[in-house]
Amino acid sequence: MLIAGNWKLFKGPAETTEFCRALRGSDLGYADVVVCPPYLSLAAAVTALAGTEIGVAAQNVHWAEQGAYTGEVGPAMLRELGVYGAIVGHSERRQYFGDTDETVARRVRAALEAGLFVIACVGESEEEREAGQTQLVLRVQTEAIAEAARDQRENLVVAYEPIWAIGTGRTATPDLVEEAHLFVKSILDVPVLYGGSVKPENAELLCAQSAVDGALVGGASLDADSFAEICRRSTRS
């Protein structure tokens, strides 16, 4: 069971160090754990978690190793820093920063070729779900990722994040989650995490679904006690 904490635009280096030190001393159950700080705090997390089994991943990665791409960070730079992997194609990157299925695929391919572990995100908006387009959206997004990964799928997981459940407090029902995960796996046979208002109160039920292989946690990952509780509860069933 993989539990990844996406911190988004929270926690500078000092707060990251404090959090990671607290996490080192926490009972995380039997979960495989990854934290995903902002770029500026990656080095602090790598240092604070050295010698543990807790991985550190970036929240995004560019497809080019170097070049005229102001503000971007390439895969080799992350590897040099000691970063384990990267989230790719998060809905907020698609919504606010122009990521498309094509650019997500390029990021996936470059990250995998560089030896990074990749958490590739897919998910439908509320409008798409209400229009009955959930499977169409998931198919298009997942097929792009599958084509990009090709024969390097051992370092790839998909995160299903229904956009309408991210940061809203709304959580997809276990049956809906199971259905979506099975559909994604029918296209791309890799582990699938659930992301969308995961918290200690629902982590055990969500992770008990047979097609759920872990969680991509947002707001509830910002508190060390809350995040540790999610990790423990995810492996109870």
pLDDT in tens, the chain (237 residues): 999 999 999 999 999 999 999 999 999 999 999 999 999 999 999 999 999 999 999 999 999 999 999 999 999 999 999 999 999 999 999 999 999 999 999 999 999 999 999 999 999 988 888 898 999 999 999 999 999 998 899 999 999 999 877 766 677 889 999 999 999 999 999 999 999 889 999 999 999 999 999 999 999 999 999 999 999 999 876
pLDDT at 169: 67
Residues 145 and 133: their CA atoms lie apart, in Å, by: 19
The tokens of 106 are what? 């390029």
Look at residue 237 in the predicted model and tell me its pLDDT.
62
Residues with catalytic function: 90, 161
CATH of segment(s) 2-234: 3.20.20.70
